[in-house]
Amino acid sequence: MRVIVPPIKSQGIKTKLVPWIQALVPGIRGRWIEPFLGTGVVAFNSGFRETLLSDINPHVIQFYQGVKDRVITPPRVREFLEREGQLLEKAPDQGYAHFRIVKDRFNKSHDPLDFLFLSRSGFNGMMRFNRHGKWNIPFCQKPERFSRSYITKIVNQTRDVACLIHSDWSFMAESFEKVIMMAKKDDIIYCDPPYIGRYVDYYSGWTEQDEQKLFDLLSATPARFILSTWHHNDFRTNPFIDTLWGKFNMVTRDHFYHSGGKLENRRSVVEALIFNFPANIRKHNHGMEPKPEQLVLLEERAEYITQQVSQACE
């Protein structure tokens, strides 16, 4: 499966887990609903024609709404990044002076192209906002960040998502409660909420009350749902698996991630998918064996993505 990689980056991005998640998606033809959209990588690889996508962070939503409205287009992204990339390269203080200009401009006007610039030139592809809602990630310290090949990569990623986003894709900047309440029987809700205590920022505080509220809403929904969460790491077990989510189905898988670029920062975690429908699966480390009709629909969805992204969608 070719995974569509979005132009926006964030530390919690689920790119590596996409095939695992998609193999579990049941054969239904309603909407793909994603209340914690983040970079959108899971939605862009869902292969659903109709979606409802939301995040409490208005900047990601504004960016993708701009793509939908054809205000943000691949040529415009190229033109913008070439111009700003040159200014960055020539700026004093090893590029920092221009990074600060873009950061200050974004914090005042919230221009989605400035948001893209910050997302792609910040330290380690991280996204974080301080308690006043201002961009809070330092420069990656590479004045030549926007090389020709890097810009082309971002332009192509923008083109891929532009080809997939069309009139049946709806975007909202709302908290998860409102979005989950909108789900109907034939929809699937994919939830990837923040983990308590990890990367807390203006848009990703998460409390026990939030987890309880999410549990109550997902327990009551007529739709199918898949929840991404962590099962355990070397030090702790996720207490909510026992106290809340245990009544649903679950699969787990080992996952390695880097917090920072260094090898010694490689950490392992066992990821879990919790879901409310029957599935033919082995419980740990992938080994999913989707039912034949599920496989047909998975292939159909992958084929749909391939068709969409092979169009000329400038």
* Distance in angstroms (rounded) separating the CA atoms of residues 5 and 231: 26
Residue number with CB closer to ligand SAM (88 or 183): 183
Structure tokens, 106: 């974004």
Is 39 an interacting residue with respect to ligand SAM (CB under 6 A)?
yes
Is 63 an interacting residue with respect to ligand SAM (CB under 6 A)?
no
Contact by Cβ (8 Å): 208, 196: yes
The one segment of 22-30, 31-39, 88-96, 236-244 that binds ligand SAM by CB under 6 A = 31-39
Is 230 an interacting residue with respect to ligand SAM (CB under 6 A)?
no
Question: Considering only CA atoms, which of 268, 260, 301 is closest in space to residue 285?
Answer: 268
The position carrying tokens 């960016």 is 63
Torsion of CA 216, 220, 226, 231, to 10 degrees: 30
The one segment of 53-61, 75-83, 160-168, 263-271 that binds ligand SAM by CB under 6 A = 53-61
What mask, x for binding ligand SAM by CB under 6 A, covers residues 163 to 182?
------------xx------
Half-sphere exposure in the Cβ direction for 166 (13 Å, CA):
12
Structure tokens, 175: 């908290």
* Distance in angstroms (rounded) separating the CA atoms of residues 17 and 254: 10
- CB-based burial of residue 207 (10 Å sphere; 0-12 exposed, 13-18 middle, 19+ buried)? exposed
Residue number with CB closer to ligand SAM (41 or 102): 41
Residue number with CB closer to ligand SAM (55 or 271): 55
Nearest distance from C-beta of residue 209 to ligand SAM, angstroms: 11
Residue number with CB closer to ligand SAM (98 or 120): 120
Nearest distance from C-beta of residue 127 to ligand SAM, angstroms: 8
Is 121 an interacting residue with respect to ligand SAM (CB under 6 A)?
no
Is 14 an interacting residue with respect to ligand SAM (CB under 6 A)?
yes
Is 192 an interacting residue with respect to ligand SAM (CB under 6 A)?
yes
Fill in the amino acid letter for 193.
Answer: P
Is 135 an interacting residue with respect to ligand SAM (CB under 6 A)?
no
Is 56 an interacting residue with respect to ligand SAM (CB under 6 A)?
yes
Nearest distance from C-beta of residue 259 to ligand SAM, angstroms: 14
Is 106 an interacting residue with respect to ligand SAM (CB under 6 A)?
no
Residue nearest to ligand SAM (CB): 38
Q: Where are the alpha helices (DSSP H) in 133-207?
A: 148-164, 176-180
Is 116 an interacting residue with respect to ligand SAM (CB under 6 A)?
no
Contact by Cβ (8 Å): 89, 143: yes
What mask, x for binding ligand SAM by CB under 6 A, covers residues 195 to 224?
--------xx--------------------
Question: Considering only CA atoms, which of 117, 274, 110, 255 is closest in space to residue 191?
Answer: 274
88: Cβ contacts below 8 Å, ≥ 6 apart: 95, 98, 99, 121, 143, 145, 146
Residue number with CB closer to ligand SAM (35 or 85): 35
The one segment of 81-89, 133-141, 188-196, 285-293 that binds ligand SAM by CB under 6 A = 188-196
Q: Where are the alpha helices (DSSP H) in the chain?
A: 18-24, 41-44, 58-68, 74-90, 96-109, 112-121, 148-164, 176-180, 208-220, 239-243, 292-309
The one segment of 12-20, 133-141, 160-168, 295-303 that binds ligand SAM by CB under 6 A = 12-20
Per CB under 6 A, residues contacting ligand SAM are 10, 12-14, 35-36, 38-39, 41-42, 55-57, 175-176, 192-194, 203-204
